[in-house]
Amino acid sequence: MTPSNINHHLTDAVLLAYSAGTLPEAFSLVVACHVSLCPQCRSALDGLEAMGGAVLEQTETTALSGGALAATLAKIAKDPTGSPAKSYRKSSFPSPLQDYVGGGPQSVKWRKVGGGVKQAILATDKTASARLLFIPAGTAVPDHSHNGMEMTLVLEGAFSDEVDRFARGDVEFGDEDLTHTPIAEVGTDCICLAATDAPLKFKGIIPRLLQPIIGI
């Protein structure tokens, strides 16, 4: 195992909600991608799932119907192996993201949002939204704050803002208290996966007018 260079991890609360299965799909996608890149959070998730196993062990029992075992064995006889595991190409996109994009960065259907910044909204349920952001090297994303919770995972390149520097695998959390201007590092274009449960609020008048149109 190579030592991980990731400095910004998932919070305990997010990992617990994911292991319990209660996180909205868009956030679950960010968690699944970060865990794919981060052995430390994968171990933490394993530990939490072991707690889930312990909770299941001590759950009270509810009787099944008389024919339940026979019905289950019949399901198995009909389909002994289930659906085969999917295969993925090696890419900077972890496999859970490839499921949404249909491949790696080349498969993304980008839409321009101005200033060289591009985005692609991913198809998730409406409880929260997920999108990919492409920020050209050296470019700033307009000053913005957040209504609800936002999680941004860096997949390629790196950006810096008022908080810190974020590179591949790092996750930045935003909420009502964070107003920031992320700037992609010079040298490499930055691709991020971001999930939010509310639209972003931009500070300047022009971005605010554009916001309903560009959808970020």
List the beta bridge partners of residue 201. Answer: 145
Among 6, 35, 132, 216, binds another protein (CB under 8 A): 35
DSSP string spanning 85-128? PP-----SS-HHHHHHHTSSGGG---EEEETTEEEEEE---TTS
Do 199 and 149 meet the contact criterion of CB atoms below 8 Å apart? no
Residue burial 125-136, b: 16+ Cβ < 10 Å; e: rest: eeebbbbbbbbe
CB of 45 or CB of 113, closer to another protein: 45
| Residue 65 found at the interface with another protein (CB under 8 A) | yes
| Residue 177 found at the interface with another protein (CB under 8 A) | no
| Residue 63 found at the interface with another protein (CB under 8 A) | yes
| Residue 121 found at the interface with another protein (CB under 8 A) | no
| Residue 22 found at the interface with another protein (CB under 8 A) | yes
Task: Give the Cβ contact number of residue 185 at 10 Å.
Answer: 17
Which chain residues interact with another protein by CB under 8 A?
Answer: 1, 11-17, 19-23, 25, 27-29, 31-33, 35-36, 39-40, 42-57, 59-65, 68-69, 71-73, 75-76, 79-82, 85, 88, 94-97, 99-100, 124-125, 149
